[in-house]
Amino acid sequence: MNPRLVIAIDGHSSTGKGTFAVEIARRLGILYLDSGALYRTVTLYALQHGQIEWNGTIQERQLQEDLLLGRVEIAVRPKSDGSMLVFLDGHDVSARIRELEVARNVSAIATLPFVRNFVDGQLHRLGKEGCVMDGRDIGTAVFPDADLKIFMTADASIRAARRVKQMEEAGKHADFEEILKNVQERDYIDSHRAMNPLRQAEDALVLDNSHMTVEDQMVWLDGILRERFGFGLS
Ligand code: DC
């Protein structure tokens, strides 16, 4: 099945939006688009071109010019497991955009209005034939007329604990208090930027997954799809 459905998933950081969206894409056979990955890719471009100084200052004019003149070539390709690969100037940067240097600078890049316009335009172009897309402003700015909008949230301390577990599983040191602070800071930045801040669309369904497994979330969504569209997840 390949329903031409646009499913918009927004919410706080580390709520498992990506995991949830990839699983939906896999089960419905639709395209998954990770909007955060596009912000990360623009950040990587800026880093590679010396447009972010050591102290975090961004050379905005140069970056804006490159985006406007089409010098930043971003492409995506779906993987069979439902996830997505992202390419910058023809190179697969899916792993590089997860590195710390990108993570440190992406929030500042994502607050720039010309970056948001660029990314929103790309997302609209890539997703208009049907997709499940996750981010912060999908249901409010990118696809305000999405067929289904979901707003994900979970207690900050539960999100921090999940990240600690992920890092420990990857063999990295993780300090709970530090990560909790980072989760709270990201919530603040995402919700307080001037352009397209994170907020719940009026017609979004809230999914608080503090005490839900991924499978619980699939059961929840399956019920909603059946009720609204007459088909389920499998
Ligand atoms: O979800 P993520 O951590 O990959 O997102 C990376 C950054 O991009 C994060 O700082 C929030 C920002 N972002 C955004 O502002 N709007 C979106 N639609 C998606 C992500």
Q: What is the 3-state secondary structure (H, E, C) of 141-161?
A: HHCCCCCEEEEEECCHHHHHH
Tell me what pLDDT residue 184 has.
93
Which residue of 39, 132, 187 sits with most ligand 1 atoms within 8 Å of its CB, as the best mutation to test the pocket?
39
Helix (H, G, I), strand (E, B) or coil at 59: coil
The model carries a pTM of: 0.92
Q: How much is the pLDDT for 101?
A: 92
Q: Quick one: which atom of ligand 1 is closest to the CA of 18?
A: 1
- Cα 126 to averaged position of ligand 1 atoms, centre (Å): 17
Residue whose C-alpha is closest to residue 23's, from 219, 230, 201, 227: 219
Query: How far is 40 from 118, CA to CA, in rounded Å?
Result: 13
What is the distance in A from the centroid of ligand 1 to the CA of 39? 6
Q: H or E element: which one contains 103?
A: helix 100-110
Report the pLDDT value the prediction gives residue 3, as an integer from 0 to 100.
Answer: 64
Predicted confidence at residue 143, as pLDDT, reads 96
Mean pLDDT by 10-residue block, N- to C-terminus, for the chain (234 residues)? 84 94 94 96 98 95 98 95 95 95 92 95 93 95 96 97 92 93 90 88 96 97 96 87
Q: Note the pLDDT of residue 195.
A: 84
Nearest protein CA to atom 1 of ligand 1, as residue: 36
Q: What's the pLDDT score for residue 95?
A: 96
What's the pLDDT at 152? Answer: 97
Ligand 1 binding residues, C-beta < 6 A:
13, 35-36, 39-40, 106-107, 110, 135-138, 190
Taking alpha carbons only, the member of 55, 22, 50 closest to residue 36 is 22
Rg (CA), the chain: 17
Query: How far, in Å, is the centroid of ligand 1 from the Cα of 28?
Result: 24
pLDDT value of position 194 = 86
